Structure formats: structure tokens, C-alpha cells
Amino acid sequence: MANRTASRTSGGVAETIKTLVYAVVIALFVRTFFYEPFSIPSASMVPTLLIGDYLFVSKFSYGYSRYSLPFGLPLIPGPGRVFYRPPQRGDVVVFKQPRDPTVDFIKRIVGLPGDRLQMREGVLTINDVPVKLQQGPDYYYGEIYRGDSGCRPGNYPEFLETLPGGREHPIIKNCGIPQFDNTQVFTVPPDHFFMMGDNRDDSADSRDPSSGVGYVPSENLVGRAEFIFYSTDGYAAWWEPWKWPFTVRYDRLLMAIR
């Protein structure tokens, strides 16, 4: 009797371990080839993305490179990608910082290979043509102030920016230091992309020589940001679970990223 009980117990433990291993393998497979979750730690993509947004990135949108794999394992021949499909202007993408590929960034692609870009008096110019800006009501930024951000709670000018090809997205200005309102001309090299944040005055991106971003090679693209699956305003600590339901931004759940 005791032997049968011990056998059942050991069999149950083995089945549990097997189930856990299967679950981990499936999760890694989905994360590597289909969708990977990311969180937003900074205000650089406000108003499109807020601190505390959790989103899914499609790994298959642009094919796969070594950075599609866990820990950047060099199992895919590089530099370059397999099953490559070039991104479109206006896509919001997660990519590895060229200077330090262990760091993830999320920005919007505004410049494609061969483009000439320049900021003139706060307006993005692509191939000598200023993008269309349509001003709307001010955007209220009410997030918790963090010392590493130039954005304090308040109202900021919001514009609808139209990129060549017709893609539209909102941007805000003056939520930070307008140090890149006027720049040199940037010419995007072949197989590279020019990235900018939608919060134009509080974004470390391709305009900033010290950001480590520069021109981003296609190999560094991780995937396209698709939708927000969870969002919290951060006003409840981890040890205050009774407050959690009141910190969820319910209007942002399952919101598509454009």
C-alpha cells in the first residue's frame, strides 16, 4: 500500500514538473517568435505611450535577427535578418540601442534609408518638406514626476503630425527642454532608420548625439508595438493591493498603438 502511494506521489510530482517544463518552453517559443511583453519606463513617447503602460510587441513583423532570441544568442546569421519585411514610416518599434544592445528603446520610425531629416524651429523636415502639424487642445500630463524626466504635471501643446505617406500621430511639445528644435541635417544610411519620440522635448533619440541611438540598423529592431494589455498610473505601491484597482487606466486596456 505504501509503495503504491509513494508511486502515485512520485508520478504526480513528475507530471507537475513535466507540465511546468512544457509551459516554460511554450512561453519562450511565443515570446521569441510571436509576441513579447514590454513596459514603458519613461515619458519619451507621451501622449502615445505613458509610464506604466504594458504592451505586446509583435516579433514577426520585421522578420528575425539575433536580437529576437533570448539574451541575443548569435544563432541567426548576421548582421541582418531572416524573413525580413522592412518597417513602415510611422511604426512604433522596440529596438536595441546600437551603443549598448542590452538596453531596449521604444520610439517611432520617422526616417527611412536615404531620407534627409532636420528639425527647423521645432518642425520635423523630411527631404526638405516640413511635415504637416495641426494644433489641437492642450494635452494634460498628470503623471508622477520623476527627477530624470523634464515633464512635470501640467498642460502642454499637442499637435497631430502627418508623416509622408499619410500616417498621423499625436506629439506634444515643451514637456522638457527644447534643445533639439533646430538640428543639423541627418542623412539616413542604407539599412538604417531614424527614430524619434512623440514627446519631442523629452526624448533621447536619433537627434541626440549623446543618446547612443543614432541611426538604428535593421538588425537591432526587436518588433512592432501592437497594443496595450495593461496600464497603471503608479500611485499605489506593491504593498498596497487594496489600491491597485483604482490605479488601473481602464480606458487604455487593449488599446491599439498607432
Residue 96 is a catalytic residue: no
Cβ pair 155, 173 in contact under 8 A: no
Beta-strand ranges (E) seen in the chain are 35-39, 53-58, 92-96, 104-111, 116-120, 123-126, 129-130, 132-135, 139-141, 154-156, 158-162, 168-172, 186-187, 192-196, 215-217, 221-231, 255-256
Biggest CA–CA distance in the chain, Å, is: 85
Q: Give the residue from 28, 34, 78, 52 showing the smallest Cα distance to 223.
A: 34
Q: Give the residue from 95, 88, 93, 92 showing the smallest Cα distance to 72.
A: 95
Beta-strand ranges (E) seen in 163-220 are 168-172, 186-187, 192-196, 215-217
Marked catalytic residue, from 42, 107, 173, 203: 107
Residue 44 is a catalytic residue: yes
Cβ pair 92, 107 in contact under 8 A: yes
Q: How far is it, in rounded angstroms, from Cα 206 to Cα 150?
A: 18
Contacts of 153 (CB under 8 A, 6+ apart): 140, 141, 142, 143, 145
Marked catalytic residue, from 44, 65, 68, 206: 44
Q: List, by residue number, the catalytic residues.
A: 44, 107
